[in-house]
Amino acid sequence: MINIDAHNHVKGKSIYLDDIQELNGTLYALPFDSTVAHAKIKSIDFAAALNHKGIVSILTAKDVTGSNQIGGIIPDEPLFAEDEVHFRGQVIALIVGTSEHHCRQAAKLIKVEYEELPVIVDPREAQAQGKLIVPPRQFKLGDTESAWAKCDHIFEGRSDVNGQEHLYIETQGAYARPKEDESIIISSSTQGPTAVQRMVAQVLGIPMHKIEIDTVRLGGGFGGKEDQATPWAVMVALACQILHKPVKMAMHRMDDMRMTGKRHPYSADFKIGLDKNYKIIAYEVTHYQNAGAAADLSPAVMERTLFHSTNAYFVPNVIAKAYSCKTNLPPNTAFRGFGGPQGKFVIEAAIVKAAESLGISPSVIQKTNLVVDGDELSYGQILQQVEATNTWETCMKSYDYEAQKNRVEAFNKTNTRFKKGLAIQPICFGISFTNTMMNHARALVHIYHDGSVVVSTGGVEMGQGLNTKMLQIVTETFSINANKVRIESTNTLRVANTSPTAASAGADLNGKALQMACNNLLERLKAVAQKEYTDQIIEVKDEMVYANEIKTDITWNALITRAFTQRVALSENAHYATPTIHYDKTKEKGHPFAYHVYGTSIHEVTVDCLKGTYDFDSVNIVHDFGKSMNPTIDNGQIEGGLVQGIGWMTLEEIVFNDQGRLLSNALSTYKVPDIYSVPKQINIQHLETEGHELAIKKSKAVGEPPLMYGIGAYFAIRNAVKAFNPNVDLIINAPYTPEKVLMDLYKK
């Protein structure tokens, strides 16, 4: 089935937030934000702004009717700054007017007096000053202390990795409209409608049942709308509550880039020990997470960094420790991989450092240490159905890595200006929210008496193809045509208490609930047919009822009519909660993931050693999809995730100055991959496996894992640089922008 959104996307008919027909009298809102990163607010003068043409109101913390608090995990984040600001871009007030233009003009007339305070942008500095979001956490396996003595080789180092701007094509936004009895409907471009509903209720001081959140689709989320779609929706809702008018906000790109958090930058110290056969005997890592000025999702992100700190490798003795450091940057947030990529980058850096010191290829250490069935990870989960070696070996064989290596070596011998680099990147990513409590979902299915079906789940379509997969589940379970089924918007009145669509678990969780709902309905429908065909096996195939495998004359529509006239319920609401998972935070042990996703990629890059620029010749992947329920969509996820990961590792460079000012604040100063930076060839091979029972239709979650293939791009470039400039010590910090490559090429 092709993506059901494809046609409307191409025709421009798909509805995003800013396409919603506006009601007469709609007002527009513009957040007014801090221009300093840390300060006391001494005074604010709104008088001139309030007098500006078209300005209806300017709201601040004083206008909040409930609680001025939007922290999700920890209540440490005011909606509007009160006496102090903690980052540039923190919202102080909301300007509401009859047009966005008027709001922007009025914003220039607001005068704020700040008393500036010291600014911290570096996570290690924050940690040294005891500025932490939560207490540090530590995962421990075996005993590193005694293991060091058994190591033949020990290497230490430091590795830093930068953040990443989400750059969803649709910026943040929300549109609130008043309903009867002070209730409000809010269209929100959010991955988490329930999170928005909950915070609106809290800030407005009204029950959740007065708030309806509706989400048709997002023009991309990538984690950036898991938590950080909330403040904007809360702001327009507050304005709507106070002014009794529809209020809308659709952010400008530069406002969005300045005000919202990004992927977390990390700094890390590592120590790795190997025996003479290159088995990793011990690994210690300390992560300093740059959380920004409030918790947001940072504690959960930090946790996933620890969960993935040994990537696809078995290490018998591990200490992984992490600090969530409070700095004066916008609170950083979820981003595809959710801290996992940062954890993986550091162990890859450690392996590369070890390999280079030992004069061997990193692939020797990688391959020697891949996880196998029965291995225990640092958090106590015993791995089963491991495909790490399988994907690795299939990758080497299918793409003839030996020949590629020989070709690259020959190329490097004969070329001086251009050098090629190769790198191999295995991945292993855990599927489930690491917070066990969040792993549940619901689905609601109505069959109308004309035979058409409407479906609501808690899942949000953000481009990943969730709705298409949901449609497949319905059409395959009922054996009816796609044109009989409509997947409706995600709406908190139809499906309540949802987890955000995140952790790559959207299709698994919502799909399993939907499958249950459809199966329950199907059983009821079959019972209706059974009355006419007693003692025969009833099935529905291609919109026809079969009895003992013989086609009857009952069509799907006729069956529904019979059920309706017999007063059989044609609606069903089902609930799914992932079985088998558990985690004990006091021990830092458990079985937090339903399953893991595996894969291996080979990257080939050509570096222009005069310019420092690079081109990716190819990326060859063998990926463990299980039994992909939609290969076209899933391959798209691999390609998109890979390119996004390559961008993070190479071109994309977030720059804050020491005063917490974002310098890479627009697309002119923040370079993202474009069609020219995409690898010339991306080959994706599906590993032949059985899939996993806890994956929807045995089709493994695919949203986040491929991003981590991007890490291989970094090390491929490094190998090309090493081919040109072999005998220098190069630090392992990402991103590897062309400027940095150039510096390394000529480093002495």
Q: Token pair of 165, please?
A: 């701007």
Binding partner selected for residue 434 from ligand MTE, ligand LUZ, ligand MOS, none, CB under the kind-specific 5 to 8 Å limit = ligand LUZ
Binding partner selected for residue 464 from ligand LUZ, ligand MTE, ligand MOS, none, CB under the kind-specific 5 to 8 Å limit = ligand MTE
Nearer to ligand MTE by C-beta: 599 or 640? 640
Q: Which stretch binds ligand MTE (CB under 6 A): 34-42, 87-95, 408-416, 701-709?
A: 701-709
Q: How near is the Cβ of 226 to ligand MOS at its closest, in Å?
A: 5
Q: 335-354: which residues touch ligand MOS (CB under 6 A)?
A: 335-336, 338
Nearer to ligand MOS by C-beta: 31 or 506? 506
Instruction: Examine residue 322 and tell whether it contacts ligand MOS (CB under 6 A).
Output: no
Q: Is 704 a catalytic residue?
A: yes
Query: Mapping DSSP to helix (H, G, I), strand (E, B) and coil, where does residue 320 land?
Result: strand
Q: How near is the Cβ of 220 to ligand MTE at its closest, in Å?
A: 4
Of 624, 631, 707, the residue nearest 469 (C-alpha): 631
Instruction: Examine residue 507 and tell whether it contacts ligand MTE (CB under 6 A).
Output: yes
Q: In sequence order, what are the residues at sequence separation of 6 or more whose Cβ sits closer than 8 angstroms to the Cβ of residue 128?
A: none
Contact 114, 36 (CB under 8 A): yes
Q: How near is the Cβ of 213 to ligand LUZ at its closest, in Å?
A: 18
Phi, psi of 173 (to 5 degrees): -175, 165
Instruction: Examine residue 301 and tell whether it contacts ligand MOS (CB under 6 A).
Output: no
Checking DSSP bridges between strand 27-33 and strand 91-97, what pairing results, if any? antiparallel
Instruction: Examine residue 625 and tell whether it contacts ligand MOS (CB under 6 A).
Output: no
Selected from 95, 199, 213, 334, the binder of ligand MOS by CB under 6 A is 334
Q: How near is the Cβ of 69 to ligand MTE at its closest, in Å?
A: 26
Contact 186, 214 (CB under 8 A): yes
Q: Which of 588, 653, 704, 739 is catalytic?
A: 704
Binding partner selected for residue 519 from ligand LUZ, ligand MTE, ligand MOS, none, CB under the kind-specific 5 to 8 Å limit = none
Nearer to ligand MOS by C-beta: 151 or 509? 509
Q: In sequence order, what are the residues at sequence separation of 6 or more whose Cβ sits closer than 8 angstroms to the Cβ of residue 490?
A: 193, 214, 215, 216, 456, 457, 458, 459, 460, 461, 498, 501
Number of residues that bind ligand MTE (CB under 6 A): 21
Nearer to ligand MTE by C-beta: 303 or 704? 704
Instruction: Examine residue 463 and tell whether it contacts ligand MTE (CB under 6 A).
Output: yes
Instruction: Examine residue 637 and tell whether it contacts ligand MTE (CB under 6 A).
Output: yes
Contact 325, 359 (CB under 8 A): no
Residue numbers of the site for ligand LUZ (CB under 6 A)?
223, 226, 297, 300, 304, 334, 338, 433-435, 438, 502-503
CA atoms within 13 A on the CB side of 738: 15
- Rounded to whole angstroms, how far apart are CA atoms 262 and 257? 9
DSSP β-bridge partners for residue 608? 418
Please give the C-alpha separations between residue 250 and each of 189, 236, 298, 566, in angstroms, as whole numbers: 9, 10, 26, 49
DSSP 415-442: -SSEEEEEEEEEEEEEES-SSGGG-EEE
- Rounded to whole angstroms, how far apart are CA atoms 208 and 393? 52
Contact 562, 553 (CB under 8 A): no
Selected from 72, 223, 430, 459, the binder of ligand MOS by CB under 6 A is 223
Q: Which stretch binds ligand MOS (CB under 6 A): 331-339, 374-382, 556-564, 673-681?
A: 331-339
Please give the C-alpha separations between residue 415 and each of 410, 585, 595, 612, 739, in angstroms, as whole numbers: 9, 54, 45, 15, 21
DSSP 26-67: -EEEEEEE-SSSSEEEEEEE-HHHHHSTTEEEEE-GGG-SS-
- Tokens 């994309």 map to which residue? 652
Q: How near is the Cβ of 301 to ligand MOS at its closest, in Å?
A: 9
Q: How near is the Cβ of 703 to ligand MTE at its closest, in Å?
A: 3
Nearer to ligand LUZ by C-beta: 297 or 349? 297
Q: Token pair of 398, please?
A: 């299918």
Number of residues that bind ligand MOS (CB under 6 A): 11
Q: How near is the Cβ of 515 to ligand MTE at its closest, in Å?
A: 15
Instruction: Examine residue 220 and tell whether it contacts ligand MTE (CB under 6 A).
Output: yes
Q: How near is the Cβ of 249 to ligand MOS at its closest, in Å?
A: 21
Instruction: Examine residue 599 and tell whether it contacts ligand MTE (CB under 6 A).
Output: no
Residues that bind ligand MOS (CB under 6 A): 191, 221, 223, 226, 334-336, 338, 502-503, 704
